[in-house]
Chain A
């Protein structure tokens, strides 16, 4: 039995819980034993690194050091986590002085990284540690006739020198290889190693959605039944925003299911679709699933979820109402300012931010604080409820 230190990543434990649940099922079928690195921090996803590369590297090397202590390689299920950790590892291995600098930060916690941890995405493990032949032995269902468009996610293909492509050249085509091994066909399309748009979703939504639309649209046009991705961040954007993206940019419907790599494996292994979390997609996977596994149970309305959902809808509306109230107040203020001042109203809305508030007045700032307080307060209540 193969054993790994498991680094699921924030999104698998957050916005894409179906990835986490399907991964556990698939890892079990593959005979992989895992110990979750629950003390590990977020990798920073490149965002932290742009602000402070050293901070990002310390956090990631810390994670690698945990695994080194356990004498285990790390398994990831997220292209972004994989790439960011590989890069950090690559940087410190290249430069022993830098490693020492990082280690000096870690010693407080009693950690030291010597440089021996291997970080591998599930995708690579399938090919390098398990082997496609062995993998195929776990498959119960032939997916012949289905077309899957591979979507790698930037960080698992670039920068290639940090990802060990020269030693393991098959990594460049790993997702194509795995899809083929299920008996399904690969839909080749130009966007498969391009950016999904997620990193700028909250910065320049228009551009981000154009990317979503281009990729899903092209794959759909080329006959894909679904898109498979080893990156939950790509999934969030391609799935969560596909409807709006396609409508805005192509004028059609966002109807291409975006499935996680473990979900594809799970389907091939014959795991019931409801256990793989297919109901938790924004773009409906219902038709797709019923064409693969007709008549099988699809959704998983567990009581816990329902209760949670209700609780959260309630809480969500509360927060929303609050924010709306603040916003309304603010709009009023802005209109007043517009009448008196020389700023245009729309310009004012556009440029308004946390910092500008100080210019308007301290009291608005206190509203913000209240919002944050209520937020944290609500969370603690909810946590205690469940």
Chain B
């Protein structure tokens, strides 16, 4: 079948501008985008630079953006993405500087991974044999170990896009792997660190990482889990915690969300600057008739909702 690839090119030595180059070639029906790119490199244009290795979605080398979203090109078949031989756009991963063509500088990525102290820190008394731990307490971690550090999540993370200091989905998922490992002794210290600025609370919950992850790691869900674990460990001095708590309270109280109360409590009653800021926005909204910040609406028979909230939140501990 015919394949048409529109590949983003960048050569720092010659023309420092990025541009797209179109390649047309014949490929086999079962070809992946990687097969096509290799064919281009070997038969048509040896100047095309890309990283690839295992061809079987386990080494994580070939993360790229295909038609705008991050993928492992070795497991993306052309027939699935362009059944009629449509043009396929291939770009390097986002949120990282480009070295050449499809090769990005992953140092920012690795630096974030190293930032979360990515190694086991057991307590001082190692057992002679293996650690005894239930299969359940370990096997769910295998889902996180599935992470091959391909950078797809980091490429499409919407929080990283506006704030490069954010630790980011891959490194946070890595951190979770230790926080939740029963053999690790430093969970609390880890959570304390991750609870600070640029940690777990800066995630926008946009699901981009979950959507693009080629290995089902679901980094965002790990981040959410760590928010909860951090609260359980007693790290409550964050707007994030106040936000969540207030949200739960509001739903428990009226069955609905009370935006005004949420805003006030999240900012914190004693964060004067934050409150003044909020007051301006609030006043503007009032003037425009964006009504009930003050008059919260209630769900009918909200006592039932209250009962559920109380029961399940308490049941959790």
The answer to whether A and B touch in the complex, with CB atoms under 8 Å apart, is: yes
Q: Is the CB of A202 within 8 A of B239?
A: yes
Q: CA of A46 to CA of B220 in the docked complex: distance in angstroms?
A: 11
Name the residue on B nearest A210 (C-beta): B162
Name the residue on B nearest A155 (C-beta): B207
Residues 231-246 of B contacting A (Cβ, < 8 Å)? 231, 236-240, 242-245
Q: Is the CB of A154 within 8 A of B206?
A: yes
Give which listed residue, A55, A206, A208, A330, contacts B308 with CB less than 8 A.
A55
Q: Name the distance in Å between B121's Cβ and chain A's nearest Cβ.
A: 26
Q: Is the CB of B244 within 8 A of A349?
A: no
Name the residue on B nearest A190 (C-beta): B68
Q: CA of A233 to CA of B256 in the docked complex: distance in angstroms?
A: 15
Given contacts A207-B202, A313-B286, contact A371 B257 (CB under 8 A): no
Q: CA of A190 to CA of B158 in the docked complex: distance in angstroms?
A: 11
Q: Name the distance in Å between A48's Cβ and chain B's nearest Cβ.
A: 6
Contacts of B281 in A (CB 8 A): 240-241
Q: Name the distance in Å between B8's Cβ and chain A's nearest Cβ.
A: 14
Say if the beta carbon of A303 comes within 8 Å of chain B.
no
Q: Is the CB of B248 within 8 A of A48?
A: yes
Contacts of A55 in B (CB 8 A): 248, 308-309, 312-313, 316
Contacts of A199 in B (CB 8 A): 204-206
Give which listed residue, B201, B202, B257, B270, contacts A11 with CB less than 8 A.
B257
Q: CA of A194 to CA of B228 in the docked complex: distance in angstroms?
A: 25
Name the residue on A nearest B263 (C-beta): A202
Name the residue on A nearest B297 (C-beta): A13
Say if the beta carbon of A312 comes within 8 Å of chain B.
yes
* Contact residues on B (Cβ < 8 Å of other chain), bracket: 35 or more
Q: CA of A160 to CA of B267 in the docked complex: distance in angstroms?
A: 33
The 8 A CB mask of B93-111 against A (1 = contact, 0 = none) is 0000000000000000000
Stretch of A25-33, A35-43, A133-141 on the interface side:
A35-43
The 8 A CB mask of A234-270 against B (1 = contact, 0 = none) is 0010001100000000000000000000000000000
Interface size on A, residues (CB 8 A): 89
Stretch of B135-143, B186-194, B298-306 on the interface side:
B298-306
Say if the beta carbon of B284 comes within 8 Å of chain A.
yes
Given contacts A15-B285, A51-B228, A355-B236, contact A280 B208 (CB under 8 A): no
Residues 171-206 of B contacting A (Cβ, < 8 Å)? 201-206
Q: Name the distance in Å between B56's Cβ and chain A's nearest Cβ.
A: 23
Contacts of B295 in A (CB 8 A): 379, 382-383, 386
Q: CA of A324 to CA of B273 in the docked complex: distance in angstroms?
A: 10
Say if the beta carbon of A336 comes within 8 Å of chain B.
no
Q: CA of A349 to CA of B227 in the docked complex: distance in angstroms?
A: 23
Name the residue on A nearest B159 (C-beta): A207
Q: Is the CB of B292 within 8 A of A14?
A: yes
Given contacts A50-B227, A207-B162, A281-B288, contact A353 B268 (CB under 8 A): yes
Contacts of B261 in A (CB 8 A): 375
Q: Is the CB of B288 within 8 A of A47?
A: no
Q: Is the CB of B270 within 8 A of A330?
A: yes
- Since A14-B296, A375-B261, A379-B296 are in contact, a sample of 14 more A-B pairs with Cβ atoms closer than 8 Å, ordered by chain A residue number, is A13-B297, A14-B257, A39-B301, A41-B255, A59-B305, A195-B204, A199-B206, A305-B289, A316-B282, A326-B269, A327-B272, A350-B271, A355-B236, A386-B295
Q: Which residues of B contact A (CB under 8 A)?
A: 68, 158-159, 161-163, 166, 201-208, 210-211, 224, 227-228, 231, 236-240, 242-245, 247-248, 250-251, 255-259, 261-263, 265-273, 275, 277, 279, 281-297, 299-302, 304-305, 307-309, 311-313, 316
16 contacting pairs across A/B (C-beta < 8 A): A10-B297, A39-B300, A40-B255, A51-B244, A54-B312, A105-B311, A154-B204, A154-B207, A197-B204, A211-B158, A240-B285, A280-B289, A280-B290, A281-B288, A327-B270, A379-B296
Which 10 residue pairs spanning A and B have beta carbons closest together? Answer: A158-B207, A202-B266, A195-B206, A210-B162, A50-B224, A10-B257, A195-B158, A154-B206, A195-B204, A55-B312
Q: Which residues of A contact B (CB under 8 A)?
A: 10-11, 13-18, 38-42, 44-52, 54-55, 58-59, 62, 105, 108-109, 154-155, 158-160, 190, 194-195, 197, 199-200, 202-208, 210-211, 214, 236, 240-241, 279-282, 305, 308-309, 312-313, 315-316, 320, 323-324, 326-327, 330-331, 349-357, 368, 371, 375, 378-379, 382-383, 386
